[in-house]
């Protein structure tokens, strides 16, 4: 192939050629670094959930920051989670399950025991099965490229999130869309009936995307910092990766909404607009790696192997 031949020639010559090659075939990260300031979108403090775990084995803090999902997706559960965080309901609970290549799950370890379960606050909403996907109206045009997807038929990015879509509806400009289970996504544990998940029990994906859960369980956000404090935890040895003893569980010190933290502690994050030109270039480069290490661009990428770029910015 011509591309391969050119790369071989470039490798034979010296630094100037290598630099030229780099300029011609930047990595996805290098493309993101060129984004204009206005292509980055601030994440509102009310959309940030800050979970402090007990200190790690090395005595260091373990902070996990979650971005809650924006409209039109899963807003009933997201509002429940805000309610639970505002009253400090999660404080003192624990991580109870770590299943390899699947999920980390946290909540009330006594939730199954009516005599010991922690009482839920007033004001939580029960959500129906229909809330697992959303009809997006034609005043919310789907601007991104649509990709063939083995689960959804099609997938794309919408307002910063990977979504599956179904477009063969009666009204061609409307479409049904739903968030998808990629690495680090956060969802709502539930019992067998689909309307039983409140947001009191949450999980994060720590393995290959379990996309079969899409539209079977509510997604409410994603871990944007500190996922390693979840993904590197010891795996549970009980059924489904539950810890078998209380000692194995990881205590949760607190879960706070970003806008309730003291001023100096409020985290600031931005995501790269998925409707931006730079994001389109990033996505194309994820699908066709041409930076120095690569000899064979794939020509495609799955929706969960192109994480939306997110960056921490200095507090105001």
Scan residues 82-101 and list those touching its own copies (CB under 8 A).
Answer: 98, 100-101
Q: In terms of CB distance, is 95 or 182 closer to its own copies?
A: 182
| Phi, psi angles (nearest 5°) of residue 104 | -110, 135
Scan residues 6-35 and list those touching its own copies (CB under 8 A): 6, 8-11, 13-14, 18
Give the per-residue contact string, 153-192, with its own copies (x = CB under 8 A; - = no).
x----------------------------xxx--x-xxxx
Q: How far apart are CB 303 and its own copies at their closest, in Å?
A: 8
Exposure string of 147-170, with b = 16+ CB inside 10 Å and e = fewer, is bebebbebbbbbbbbbbbbeeeee
> Is 203 near its own copies (CB under 8 A)?
yes
Which of 31, 35, 233, 272 contacts its own copies by CB under 8 A? 233
Q: Which two tokens stand for residue 73?
A: 């997706």
Which of 23, 59, 112, 264 contacts its own copies by CB under 8 A? 112
Which segment (74-82, 138-146, 200-208, 256-264) binds its own copies by CB under 8 A?
200-208
Which of 46, 137, 232, 259 contacts its own copies by CB under 8 A? 232
Cα–Cα distances in Å, from 96 out to 44, 111, 198, 313?
29, 11, 17, 32
- Work out the angle at residue 118's Cα, subtended by the Cα atoms of residues 113 and 124, and round it to the nearest 5 degrees: 115
Helix axes 15-24, 2-12, angle to 10 degrees: 150
| Residue 26 near residue 285 (C-beta atoms within 8 A) | yes
Q: What is the β-pairing status of strands 40-42 and 268-272?
A: antiparallel
Which of 16, 115, 212, 263 contacts its own copies by CB under 8 A? 212
> Exposure of 267 by Cβ count < 10 A (0-12 exposed, 13-18 middle, 19+ buried)?
middle
Q: Which two tokens stand for residue 306?
A: 């192109």
Q: How far apart are CB 139 and its own copies at their closest, in Å?
A: 27
Which of 31, 32, 93, 103 contacts its own copies by CB under 8 A? 103
- Work out the angle at residue 36's Cα, subtended by the Cα atoms of residues 34 and 42, and round it to the nearest 5 degrees: 115
Q: How far apart are CB 36 and its own copies at their closest, in Å?
A: 26
Which segment (45-53, 77-85, 103-111, 263-271) binds its own copies by CB under 8 A?
103-111
Q: In terms of CB distance, is 159 or 286 closer to its own copies?
A: 286
Scan residues 245-284 and list those touching its own copies (CB under 8 A): none
Give the per-residue contact string, 115-154, with its own copies (x = CB under 8 A; - = no).
--------------x--x--------------xxxxxxx-
Q: Which two tokens stand for residue 4?
A: 């391969």
Nearest to 315 by CA among 256, 267, 260, 258: 267
Q: How far apart are CB 163 and its own copies at their closest, in Å?
A: 14
Q: How many CA atoms lie within 13 A of 295 on its CB side?
A: 4
């Amino acid at each position: 192939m011509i591309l391969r031949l050119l790369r071989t020639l470039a490798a034979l010559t010296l630094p100037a050629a290598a630099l030229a090659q780099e300029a011609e075939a930047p990595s996805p990260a290098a493309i993101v670094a060129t984004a204009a300031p206005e292509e980055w979108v601030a994440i509102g403090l009310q959309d940030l959930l800050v979970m402090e775990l007990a200190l790690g084995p090395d005595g260091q803090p373990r902070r996990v920051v979650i971005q809650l999902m924006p409209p039109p997706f899963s807003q009933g559960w997201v509002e429940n989670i805000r309610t639970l965080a505002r009253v400090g309901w999660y404080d003192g609970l624990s991580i109870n399950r770590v299943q390899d290549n699947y999920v980390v799950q946290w909540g009330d370890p006594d939730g199954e025991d009516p005599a010991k379960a922690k009482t839920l606050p007033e004001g939580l909403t029960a959500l129906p099965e229909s809330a697992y996907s959303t009809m997006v109206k034609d005043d919310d045009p789907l601007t991104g490229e649509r990709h063939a997807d083995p689960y959804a038929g099609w997938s794309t990015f919408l307002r910063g999130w990977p979504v599956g879509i179904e477009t063969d509806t009666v009204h061609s400009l409307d479409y049904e869309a739903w968030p998808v289970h990629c690495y680090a996504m956060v969802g709502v544990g539930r019992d067998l009936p689909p309307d039983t998940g409140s947001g009191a029990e949450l999980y994060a994906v720590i393995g290959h995307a379990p996309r079969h859960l899409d539209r079977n369980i509510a997604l409410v956000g994603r871990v944007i910092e500190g996922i390693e404090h979840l993904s590197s935890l010891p795996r549970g040895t009980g059924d489904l990766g539950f810890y078998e003893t209380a000692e194995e569980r990881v205590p949760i010190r607190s879960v706070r909404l970003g806008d309730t933290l003291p001023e100096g502690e409020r985290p600031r994050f931005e995501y790269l607009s998925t409707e931006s030109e730079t994001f389109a270039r990033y996505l194309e480069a994820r699908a066709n790696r041409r930076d120095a290490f690569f000899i064979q661009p794939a020509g495609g990428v799955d929706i969960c192997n192109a994480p939306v770029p997110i960056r921490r910015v200095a507090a105001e």
